[in-house]
Amino acid sequence: MNELSQGAQDRSEPVVHLDAVSLSYGSTRALDGITLDIPSACVIGLIGPDGVGKSSLLSLVAGAREIQTGQVHVLGGDMADAAHRRRTCPRIAYMPQGLGKNLYPTLSVFENVDFFGRLFGHDRHEREQRIAALLRDTGLSPFVDRPAGKLSGGMKQKLGLCCALIHDPDLLILDEPTTGVDPLSRRQFWELIENIREARPQMSVIVATAYMEEAARFAWLMAMDNGHLLASGTPSDLLRRTGTDNLDAAFIALLPEEQRRDHKEVVIPPRGMGQDEDIAIEANHLTVKFGDFTAVDDVSFRIPRGEIFGFLGSNGCGKTTTMKVLTGLLPASAGEARLFGHEVDPRDMTVRARVGYMSQAFSLYSELTVRQNLELHARLFLLPADTIEGRVRDMVTQFDLVAFIDALPDALPLGVRQRLSLAVAMIHAPDILILDEPTSGVDPIARDRLWQILSDLSRKDGVTIFVSTHFMNEAERCDRISLMHAGKVLISDTPERIAAERGNGNLEQAFVAYLQEAIDRVAAPTVPSTQAAVSAAAPPTAEERHSSHRLLGFFDPRRMFAYTQREALELQRDPIRATLAIVGSLILMFVMGYGINTDVENLAFAVLDHDETTISRDYALQISGSRYFTEHAPITSYDDLDRRMRSGELSLAIELPPGFGRDVARGSNVQIGAWIDGSNPSRAETVRGYVQAMHTTWLVQRARELSGAGEATGAFQIEVRFLYNPDVKSIVAMAPAVIPILLLMIPAILAALSVVREKELGSIINFYVTPVTRLEFLLGKQIPYVALAMLNFFLLTAFAVFVFRVPFTGSFPAFTAGACLYVIISTAMGLLISSFLNSQIAAIFATALLTMIPATQYSGLVDSVSSLQGAGAVVGRIYPTAHFITITRGTFSKGLGFDDLSAPFLALIVTVPVLLGLGTLLLRKQAN
């Protein structure tokens, strides 16, 4: 009963209420004082070009972004209130902008939906039922095992919808769900939404879209521009108010006067007759394969000079690949591409000079100003130096860039940037322009201006234009168009004829018909019937409803393990990361074990013997007999000594003075000279120690020979015992100490990247809008890396014991327990670093900086902590690596166990909650 009244109340009240909401990114104002009520239980459209604040508005409503000023009420509560967000986020579903932005590309279709089911606490049985029903209704059932990254754009969006619908939301927020999706998939997508709405009429849906023809079907529209709300109302309301017959025109009419002033309808004059003999672009049975994937399949077309040729199709259908072949960026696997009758040859610079190419993304140098960009390209195209200035001026005037001449591209609006791209592509007055989606993300007015320029180029200058687009009204402006699907050209003709033939005069309908036909031909059985009953979205029973709320508030192991499982799957499928973690650390251990070698052996030495007596030769023999030194050819003169030491050949030179033997025999004062190469001070110190020791031994021997044995045993003796490492081998000391360093750096970097990657790629949004808490998120992500690090630990230890033959003398359980604590700490350090950094490269550098230096310099690896001074000493006392090195050396070499190592264990135990607590505090649950 309670449920029903709740629903009724929702229907009468607005689902979303905004009051004076503003949002700024730095100095850019994304939303400016928006006040608005959004009615519930219907589909509401948010229309307007890119960059006007649609996405910002939706992310505020979804609770993914922090509110700066104003009030946002969603489902009857204030979204600034964390408790309300926690209560309502299980009732909201949010699909962010970008194809598959909230999906995990390496996970399969099933695993993706399953992850969301786990986040909402569904048990296994319930999850499987729901997933099966959702996948069946969206037609994804045949692809359950396919990785999400390999789905087509339309399928990705359907999968995104499944993930959003798994928990029966009351409010569904879709941010441009159909951008970049072919018309057929778009149509299917909306049919799906219709069916779901039929089954659950109380659900409200808010959709942002750039396609006005879609928006015409929604119940209620809000038009936005430049952070402001222009108008709201039903589509017919808006048309009536502006006195227009389509929403594109209505939108332009709604814009403020100053933006509209320069706008004119694009009129493209018809092409003159008799030009068709001169073929500019030609493709004959063009095929491009990547491995066993055919991106372009037997494509042929002929484009005469001066024609505007449109290329339509969904993302990934082969448009961009075809364009790259035409520009010589990609070689064709079969068939040929011709420009002006010559086959495209990447090495032929003269053809390149006749082509202008504008790639999909803005691809000019953002670090150069508008003028510098133009000048650089003019020079690269070898325009004569004296004409460059004039040409740049012409382009700036023609493309209306005068006001921005010294600005950096990043500071310019998208429309202006696209004009700059076009100006750069035109700088060398090419005969052919190849434009890859030049208008995506550009507002209608700027789009019209761009088309006017294209029209002039084609009709006045005879430039051939090859352009790809998603927009039907742009396709209608082309002289001829080709529709591409899955690498094949389906139809190629004038827009009018295509529309008349299959679509009753409507181009979009014609395309849908062609697409449907192509799909039926290829894969008839797998095509879903979109009319299927949407059983998964049936009204939830009280029990089901309840199940979503069974979860504990602040910490629920199920949500944590949802992240653990997902992270583990991703790790498993990223060969580079996994390889690096396992093989990489073994390689590094090998290298460091050998590299940090302080054993000094086989040093080169030579003697300058002025005496040449038995005694002097005996002295030299004493040195060459030791394993530390290798004797080289005798030194002949001081010059020889100098030259050989300078070249680095000799580490030690001994000079025995004339009359050495005589003086020794007489017992008079005599001095032996020894020169050590001091360029490497620590090696020199070791050499000094060796030489001194050998000198002393020689003296003792001499004394013994002179006065009989026994007498010269010395006044006293020092007995030196090298403990733990009796042979004083570097490897015994270094190998155990290298383990802590490797177990710090690599797990920390991997853990840090795991969070920062989500931030950079956008899937962090799932953390923002689902009920998972910060601690669950961090711990869940940490577990797989701890497991991986422990595997690494066992491998490294085995490597030290069996390959380096370092004896292990202490308690292995104590060593393992210490390692376990330590890798929890090292991964927690990575998570802590990731909580405040946003780019992957910054995370790598910061982690390397914050781990490498303290671990190698202040943790007792070479110099013991007690010998450090100042800041280094402070770091050394608290840094976990120092404590774990004590545990490692204690258990490895000193034969110790738990009892002897309680102090470092205690230090490690205290560190764990400190790091995790800080990480949890610093991590943000919303974007800001």
Write the interaction track for other proteins spanning residues 45-84; mark x where CB under 8 A is met and - where it is not. ----------------------------------------
Q: In what order do the strands lie in the sheet with 432-435?
A: 355-358, 432-435, 464-469, 308-312, 480-485, 488-493
Residues contacting 675, CB < 8 A, separation 6+? 641, 645, 652, 653, 655
- Report the distance separating Cα 847 and Cα 744, nearest Å: 10
Residue (122 or 352) nearer to other proteins, CB: 352
Report how many residues bind other proteins under the rule CB under 8 A: 135
Stretch that binds other proteins, among 135-143, 151-159, 273-281, 590-598 (CB under 8 A): 590-598
- Report the distance separating Cα 362 and Cα 837, nearest Å: 26
Exactly one of 423, 592, 764, 855 binds other proteins (CB under 8 A); that residue is 592
The yes or no reply on residue 204 touching other proteins (CB under 8 A) is no
Answer whether 21's CB lies under 8 Å from 71's CB.
yes
Q: Which residue has the tokens 């139809």?
A: 491
Scan residues 666-705 and list those touching other proteins (CB under 8 A): 667-686, 688-689, 691-693, 695, 699, 702-703
Exactly one of 4, 273, 524, 723 binds other proteins (CB under 8 A); that residue is 723
Stretch that binds other proteins, among 28-36, 133-141, 484-492, 581-589 (CB under 8 A): 581-589
How many residues would you count in the chain? 928
Scan residues 733-752 and list those touching other proteins (CB under 8 A): 733-734, 736-737, 749
The yes or no reply on residue 721 touching other proteins (CB under 8 A) is yes
Scan residues 457-496 and list those touching other proteins (CB under 8 A): none
Scan residues 874-893 and list those touching other proteins (CB under 8 A): 886, 889-890, 893
Residue (6 or 624) nearer to other proteins, CB: 624
Q: In what order do the strands lie in the sheet with 77-78?
A: 28-38, 16-25, 69-74, 77-78
Minimum distance, C-beta of residue 870 to other proteins, in the bound complex (Å): 8
At 220, give phi and psi (nearest 5°).
-150, 140
- Report the distance separating Cα 520 and Cα 486, nearest Å: 13
Q: What are the CA-CA distances from residue 488 to residues 117, 295, 311, 319, 517 (Å)?
A: 38, 9, 12, 10, 13
Minimum distance, C-beta of residue 822 to other proteins, in the bound complex (Å): 16
Neighbours of 534 (CB within 10 A): 23
Residue (12 or 350) nearer to other proteins, CB: 350
Residue (616 or 773) nearer to other proteins, CB: 616
At 32, give phi and psi (nearest 5°).
-130, 95
The yes or no reply on residue 866 touching other proteins (CB under 8 A) is yes
Scan residues 775-804 and list those touching other proteins (CB under 8 A): none
Residues contacting 679, CB < 8 A, separation 6+? 648
Scan residues 335-354 and list those touching other proteins (CB under 8 A): 346-347, 349-350, 352-353
Minimum distance, C-beta of residue 135 to other proteins, in the bound complex (Å): 31
The yes or no reply on residue 709 touching other proteins (CB under 8 A) is no
Exactly one of 355, 392, 786, 846 binds other proteins (CB under 8 A); that residue is 355
Q: What are the CA-CA distances from residue 51 to residues 224, 226, 878 (Å)?
A: 10, 8, 48
- Report the distance separating Cα 296 and Cα 319, nearest Å: 8
Scan residues 513-532 and list those touching other proteins (CB under 8 A): none
Residue (282 or 436) nearer to other proteins, CB: 436
Residue (303 or 490) nearer to other proteins, CB: 303
Residue (177 or 854) nearer to other proteins, CB: 854
The yes or no reply on residue 98 touching other proteins (CB under 8 A) is no
Exactly one of 372, 398, 535, 626 binds other proteins (CB under 8 A); that residue is 372
Minimum distance, C-beta of residue 774 to other proteins, in the bound complex (Å): 24
Scan residues 640-669 and list those touching other proteins (CB under 8 A): 643, 645-648, 651, 664, 667-669
The yes or no reply on residue 25 touching other proteins (CB under 8 A) is no
Stretch that binds other proteins, among 152-160, 261-269, 367-375, 766-774 (CB under 8 A): 367-375
The yes or no reply on residue 602 touching other proteins (CB under 8 A) is yes
- Report the distance separating Cα 274 and Cα 261, nearest Å: 38
Scan residues 422-461 and list those touching other proteins (CB under 8 A): none
Cα diameter, the chain: 125
**Can you read off the two tokens belonging to residue 374?**
């133009």
Neighbours of 684 (CB within 10 A): 16
Q: What are the start-end ranges of the H helices in 244-342?
A: 247-254, 257-260, 319-327
Stretch that binds other proteins, among 33-41, 173-181, 199-207, 320-328 (CB under 8 A): 320-328
Beta bridge partners of 24: 29
Exactly one of 156, 377, 566, 759 binds other proteins (CB under 8 A); that residue is 377
Cβ neighbourhood burial of 310 (10 Å; 0-12, 13-18, 19+) = buried
- Which residues in 108-147 are b (16+ Cβ under 10 Å) and which e? bbbbbbbbbbbbbbbeeebbeebbbbbbbbbbbbebeeeb
Residue (200 or 377) nearer to other proteins, CB: 377
The helix (H) or strand (E) run that includes residue 871 is: helix 870-878
- Under DSSP, the state recorded for 145 is T
Exactly one of 753, 789, 907, 916 binds other proteins (CB under 8 A); that residue is 753
Q: Which amino acid is at 512?
A: V
Answer whether 487's CB lies under 8 Å from 317's CB.
yes
Minimum distance, C-beta of residue 920 to other proteins, in the bound complex (Å): 24
Scan residues 801-860 and list those touching other proteins (CB under 8 A): 840-841, 844-845, 848, 857, 860
